[in-house]
């Protein structure tokens, strides 16, 4: 066998092998497709089974719903028949109730007319009793008016007496000034001075003494009730120690101005002649105290139309409350003793302005 024949045989064998391999690949692809088709068929069968099961469940629910609908329809029909029966009964009862209500309405109307007549009669009796009962009050009112007239007359008399007292006080002050001036010329004067912040003062030894100085050596005098003396003294100390912008602030109490051996407090006119400002320490105790008498003197000063004196009298409002009627014409100053209070700067500014302005007016 020649080489050529061998090559031909070998080529034939290789060609046969190539065809067989290609057919094997085609068969393998067909086999995979067949397997895929079988898997799809199986899934379709399972899906068909599930759909059949779902259809069976839906049919069962549908049958159950049909039965429930029939039951509800039957119940509604029974209710409808029952309602129709009730409507028939209620129609008959409504007619009976309407007649009963009409009868009741007539009874109420008759009762109201009777009550109205009773109220009119009762009102007539009450008016008669009020007229009879008011007669004593009218008599008392007439008597009160007469007493008010008498009080007005007494007020005029008190006013006249107060004017006379003020005039006499001024004359006494002038006499004391003359005596003091003559004493200064005849004999030397021995004066013992103490700090005004340490208690009662006024220890001036001369051959003749006046109860109060006639010069403005004092900035503020604090009038107070007897029961408020300790509080007023604390107020004096507070004012003197907490206002450094006011140089040499002089604050006293009325008892500080008493002459040795004297027990009579100086009058308001005398205080105004020696002190630039008069503070009235307002508490609930002042209404029942003799110091309230200063209020009447304040009204006298107002009636004399002396605005300078009236403006120098200032109610020092310690607590929140109403001001005495006698002091109502005056402008109060709210006292704030707590330096941390937000109102304290306002109080401080007002006090400083008052003292400085009156120092300029009354040097």
Does the pLDDT at position 156 exceed 90? no
- Range 30-45 average pLDDT: 88
Residue with tokens 């109205």: 116
Give the C-alpha distances (Å, rounded to integers) separating 269 from 2, 104, 126: 170, 84, 58
Q: Which two tokens stand for residue 256?
A: 């500080």
- Range 16-33 average pLDDT: 79
Per-residue model confidence as pLDDT tens digits over 191-226:
333 333 333 333 333 333 333 334 678 999 998 888
Task: Provide the 3-class DSSP secondary structure of residue 259.
Answer: coil
End-to-end CA, the chain: 163
Per-residue model confidence as pLDDT tens digits over 97-134:
888 888 888 889 898 988 888 898 888 888 888 778 77
- Quick check: 221 and 253 in contact, CB under 8 A? yes
Per-residue model confidence as pLDDT tens digits over 39-85:
889 889 888 898 888 899 999 999 898 999 899 999 999 989 889 88
Does the pLDDT at position 352 exceed 80? yes
Helices H / strands E in the chain, number of each: 6, 7
> Which sign does the torsion angle of CA 303, 309, 312, 316 carry?
negative
State the pLDDT at residue 154.
73
- Quick check: 166 and 269 in contact, CB under 8 A? yes
Cα–Cα distance measured from residue 174 to residue 214, given in angstroms and rounded to the nearest whole number: 9
Q: Which two tokens stand for residue 189?
A: 């004067």
Of the pLDDT bands very low, low, confident and very high (cuts 50, 70, 90), residue 245 is very high
Q: Whole-structure pTM over 0.75, yes or no?
A: no
* Residue 332 per-residue DSSP state: P
State the pLDDT at residue 25.
82
For residue 285, with 0-12 CB atoms within 10 Å meaning exposed, 13-18 middle and 19 or more buried, which class applies?
A: middle
* Superfamily name with CATH number, domain 187-361: Toll/interleukin-1 receptor homology (TIR) domain (3.40.50.10140)
Per-residue model confidence as pLDDT tens digits over 302-337:
544 566 677 888 989 988 776 776 677 788 899 999
Does the pLDDT at position 295 exceed 60? no
* Residue 217 per-residue DSSP state: -
């Amino acid at each position: 066998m020649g080489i050529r024949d061998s090559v031909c045989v070998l080529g034939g064998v290789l060609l046969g092998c190539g065809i067989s391999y290609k057919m094997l690949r085609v068969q393998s692809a067909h086999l995979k497709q067949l397997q895929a088709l079988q898997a799809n068929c199986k899934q379709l069968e399972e899906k068909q089974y599930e759909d059949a099961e779902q259809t069976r469940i839906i049919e069962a629910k549908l049958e159950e719903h049909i039965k429930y609908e029939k039951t509800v329809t039957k119940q509604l029909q029974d209710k409808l028949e029952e309602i129709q029966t009730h409507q028939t009964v209620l129609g008959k009862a409504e007619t009976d109730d309407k007649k009963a209500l009409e009868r009741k309405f007539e009874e109420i109307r008759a009762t109201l007319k009777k009550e109205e007549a009773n109220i009119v009669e009762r009102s007539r009796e009450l008016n008669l009793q009020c007229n009879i009962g008011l007669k004593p009050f009218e008599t008392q009112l007439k008597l009160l008016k007469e007493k008010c007239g008498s009080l007005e007359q007494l007020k005029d008399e008190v006013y006249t007496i107060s004017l006379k007292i003020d005039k006499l006080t001024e004359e006494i002050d002038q006499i004391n000034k003359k005596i003091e001036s003559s004493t200064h010329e005849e004999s030397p004067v021995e004066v013992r001075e103490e700090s005004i912040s340490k208690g009662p003062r006024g220890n001036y030894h001369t051959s003749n003494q006046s109860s109060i100085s006639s010069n403005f050596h004092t900035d503020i005098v604090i009038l107070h009730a007897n029961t408020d003396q300790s509080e007023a003294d604390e107020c004096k100390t507070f004012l003197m120690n907490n206002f450094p912008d006011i140089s040499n602030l002089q604050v006293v109490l009325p008892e500080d101005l008493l002459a040795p051996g004297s027990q009579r407090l100086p009058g308001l006119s005398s205080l105004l002649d020696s002190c630039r400002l008069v503070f009235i320490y307002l508490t609930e105790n002042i209404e029942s105290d003799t110091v309230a008498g200063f209020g009447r003197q304040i009204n006298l000063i107002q009636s004399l139309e002396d605005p300078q004196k009236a403006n120098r009298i200032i109610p020092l409002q310690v607590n929140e409350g109403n001001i005495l009627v006698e002091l109502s014409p005056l402008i109060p100053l709210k006292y704030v003793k707590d330096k941390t209070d937000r109102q304290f700067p306002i109080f401080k500014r007002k006090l400083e302005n008052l003292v400085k302005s009156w120092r300029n007016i009354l040097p």
